[in-house]
Amino acid sequence: MTAAEPTFRQSVELMFNRAAALMELPPGLEEKIRVCNSTYVVRFGVRLRGEVRTFTGYRSVHSEHMEPVKGGIRYAANVNQDEVEALASLMTFKCALVEAPFGGSKGGLCIDPRQYEEHELEQITRRFAYELIKRDLINPSQNVPAPDMGTGEKEMAIMADQYARMNTTDINARACVTGKPPNAGGIQGRVEATGRGVQYALQEFFRYPEDVAKAGLDGSLDGKRVIVQGLGNVGYHAALFLSTEDGCKITHVIERDGALTNPEGLDIALVRDWIAHHGGVRGCPHGHYIEEGLKVLEEDCDILIPAAIEGVINMGNAERVKAPLIIEAANGPVTAGADEILRHKGTVIIPDLYANAGGVTVSYFEWVKNLSHIRFGRMQRRQEEARHELIVNELERLSKDKELGWSLSPNFKEKYLKGAGELELVRSGLDDTMRGAYQSMREVWHSRNDVTDLRTAGFLVSISRVASSYQAKGL
């Protein structure tokens, strides 16, 4: 990154300001929505390997216009207040855009999880959770964390368990965090949710030929050449679904230790498997290895998917990025400076606050499931199947009538009879959410001459929703 590059938090604020300048908000309210309400910093000690080690953690609350506030907890060595506040602020606008009834929050712990054993991570996570729980920074009705970079189902299960130990009579204890494993109050489809959301976002974008044309592309997703940066949970699922279900060719995968390329399309499951066993892409026989991974962001492609960390596309490389369409699967992968350069070049960016909102959307479903204490579909599934059976029996009877001369297609009966389970319902709810949110953004994008990009359109929709919420409270 260059010296002129704003910090991540400043970057988000600049993007916010661009949109706010096009609105007529009372200046006091604009400021209220922009700023981060609070950031709690905790330093705590854990006895490990015969000594006491001190860890620094954060939980930042950006906006409490709706409660609980929501957002993941990240484990990374370079977590800092600026980053956590930027991420908390993005959560506010993300939730507003996909109509998840939450304010924005985010947490982080300065730790490289790869340096610790599983039992050590459990001890550290439990202690961090304890510090947050006793200040109501983990609480089903006030602040509901979820996984983010470096955390997953395991950490969420530990946090939920810690909350239950400290709140033995709270009947809603399980709703204190989302992203838990299905056998500990989680929901089917949460792990894949953010990647699945990226796929649904692209599918929706490609339903509008005029939007696709703005990126200088045409046709469908089939055959599109895609570069994915980061094959973690989000990048992996997005790449897997796009390649196996939509016909995209993942021509490049960029990882920490370099990149892998295959113009015919990489087999994502095999690459992921290799990374899991070898810690990187070097030596992977399923593609050609390139040492200078980040340079690959500048390769020719149709769609670029940055799916790892913030700031990878910055003022230092934006000019050379050739992709006509970028979808931000990560939070903040394009800095405000790069955003400006890319906008002038005509690159279409599907922004993070929309593109990666699949995670929090399914978190919302999980939270509702926990509060209602019943799995989605449990009441309706068999009734739905019974009604379908009536139709199928009738069709079967008619198809035996030689005079009508028609028959049922193979598998029709089986497919039609199967009522939706939790996973199908989660995917349907996510698809609906991603379509609805895109439509609200594109309406602004197409109807206002002063809005030339999807990010500003997304911020406009979100800020006005947050503003109405504050105004309804008399602020």
Instruction: By CB under 6 A, name the binding residues for ligand GLU.
Output: 70-72, 146, 148, 178, 331, 356, 359-360, 363
Nearer to ligand GLU (CB atom), residue 318 or residue 353: 353
Q: Name residues whose C-beta falls within 8 Å of residue 168's C-beta, 6 or more positions apart in sequence.
A: none
Query: DSSP readout, 451-469?
Result: --SHHHHHHHHHHHHHHHH
Tell me how far, at minimum, the Cβ of 148 lies from ligand GLU, in Å.
4
Provide, rounded to whole angstroms, the least separation between the CB of residue 282 and ligand GLU: 29
The encoded tokens of residue 342 equal: 């890319």
DSSP string, 321-375: ---SEEE--SSS-B-HHHHHHHHHHT-EEE-HHHHTTHHHHHHHHHHHHHHHTS-
In this structure, are strands 225-229 and 103-110 parallel, antiparallel, or unpaired? Answer: unpaired
Q: Are 78 and 310 in contact (CB under 8 A)?
A: no
**70 or 369, CB closer to ligand GLU?**
70
Name the residue nearer to ligand GLU (CB basis): 234 or 260. Answer: 234
For residue 207, the minimal CB distance to ligand GLU (Å) is 24
Q: Which 8-state DSSP code applies to residue 117?
A: -
Question: For 230, left (φ over 0), alpha (ψ -120 to 50), or beta?
Answer: left
Centroid of chain to Cα 182: 19
Minimum Å distance from CB 95 to ligand GLU? 8
Which residue in the list 32, 70, 94, 106 is annotated as catalytic?
106
Both tokens assigned to 26: 């009372």
Residue 114 token pair: 């790869």
CB of 330 to ligand GLU, least distance (A): 9
Q: How far is the C-alpha of 281 from the C-alpha of 251, rounded, in Å?
A: 14
User: Which C-beta is closer to ligand GLU: that of 197 or that of 293?
Assistant: 197
CB of 149 to ligand GLU, least distance (A): 8
CA-based torsion, 139, 144, 149, 152: positive or negative:
positive
The reply to whether 106 belongs to the active site is yes
Residues belonging to the active site: 106
